[in-house]
Amino acid sequence: MKKLTIFFCIMFTACVTSQDNSVHSPETYAASITAEELKEHLYTYASDEFEGRETGTSGEIKAINYLKAQYEALEIQGGMPNGDYFMPMSLNSYRDDKTIEATNVLAYIEGSEKPNELLVITAHLDHIGVEDDGQINNGADDDGSGTVALLELAEAFQMAVKAGVRPKRSILFLHVTGEEKGLLGSKYYTDNPVYPLENTVANLNIDMIGRIDDLHEDNPNYLYLIGSDILSQDLHDVSVAMNDAYVNLELDYRYNDPTTEVFERGRYRENRYYYRSDHYNFAKNEVPVIFYFNGTHEDYHAPTDTVEKIEYALMEKRTRLIFHTAWEIVHRDERLRLKD
Ligand SMILES: [Zn+2]
């Protein structure tokens, strides 16, 4: 009997100790980001029902309502000053030469120790809609992949909050519209920031993370990172350290040089990716950014960018890298420093 009591004491102490450690370990929450859940979200979000999610259309309305419903289910509040999820705007599309009504979706987790310092994680909610012949551009990779990754990141951080581990800094999950019409939703946000840009410590932008490009057919364990060391060495160092500690993807920086050529629309041209997705609107305001990207592929901006071509296990790994990087940014003692 006595032996048994001691045994139980040891077991109890071990349980309490390990439970306490696991509550504070980001891996506990990273594990909630799964290929299955990414796939489940994407099979809805990039289905024909969403009509290619073109900005200013009924497809966009379906997309924003889907996102709002997910955050309500997670019990994460809206990111607008009055607690709303929707940031409405009138946009002038330079491609269509007309004014359209469009909406960003904002969800917000307030930080515990430095609530005024904010990490913004972005993905664009829109795509290019329906072709003249009726074919739907489902945009499973572009940017269904980034959109559902954002939902899984939010879920992971909210699980931590519910376990008593609130991020020290605040996090804005920002789904921007109008990317395909010229980065319009992210420009609207950075022109009309809900949270001051000078207190925005970084922007992690996810635009296409579900596929493998031609250059990596034989080595799919990769992700392109663009911009990580341009404004802040700290951000780059955090990113590298988190990858080494938790994920071990091959981080490919070749497109950090905007003149590196890519084969697009029938010819080689300068990639200029640093200027081509929503992070740029933050970077031009001196907010350090990382753009996560798998490169282009034959289905880029075509009706064949569909859900069954997505590599879900790889997407899980890539999303977990972003999670660990975000976790470190919001929990570390020092704010990320800009380069001099
Ligand atoms: Zn995109």
Pick the CATH number of 27-331 from 3.40.630.10, 3.30.450.40, 3.90.79.10, 3.40.30.10: 3.40.630.10
- Between the CA of 139 and the centroid of ligand 1 the distance, in Å, is 8
- Between the CA of 180 and the centroid of ligand 1 the distance, in Å, is 7
- Between the CA of 141 and the centroid of ligand 1 the distance, in Å, is 8
Task: Tell me what pLDDT residue 21 has.
Answer: 75
- Between the CA of 331 and the centroid of ligand 1 the distance, in Å, is 29
Rg (CA), the chain: 20
**How much is the pTM?**
0.93
- Between the CA of 243 and the centroid of ligand 1 the distance, in Å, is 24
- Between the CA of 185 and the centroid of ligand 1 the distance, in Å, is 13
- Between the CA of 311 and the centroid of ligand 1 the distance, in Å, is 17
- Between the CA of 303 and the centroid of ligand 1 the distance, in Å, is 14
Task: Tell me what pLDDT residue 258 has.
Answer: 86
Task: Tell me what pLDDT residue 96 has.
Answer: 65
- Between the CA of 207 and the centroid of ligand 1 the distance, in Å, is 5
- Between the CA of 143 and the centroid of ligand 1 the distance, in Å, is 5
- Between the CA of 276 and the centroid of ligand 1 the distance, in Å, is 9
- Between the CA of 316 and the centroid of ligand 1 the distance, in Å, is 18
For every one of its 340 residues, what pLDDT tens digit does the chain have, with 9 covering 90 and above?
Answer: 455 555 554 555 444 444 557 888 999 999 999 999 999 999 999 999 999 999 999 999 999 999 999 999 999 999 999 999 999 999 986 666 788 999 999 999 999 999 999 999 999 999 999 999 999 999 999 999 999 999 999 999 999 999 999 999 999 999 999 999 999 999 999 999 999 999 999 999 999 999 999 999 999 999 999 999 999 999 999 999 999 999 999 999 999 988 899 988 788 999 899 999 999 999 999 999 999 999 999 999 999 999 999 999 999 999 999 999 999 999 999 999 999 8
Task: Tell me what pLDDT residue 112 has.
Answer: 98
Task: Tell me what pLDDT residue 11 has.
Answer: 52
Mode of pairing for the β-strands spanning 250-252 and 222-226:
parallel
Rounded to the nearest 5 degrees, what angle is found at the Cα of 178, between the Cα atoms of 175 and 181?
150
- Between the CA of 105 and the centroid of ligand 1 the distance, in Å, is 16
- Between the CA of 3 and the centroid of ligand 1 the distance, in Å, is 63
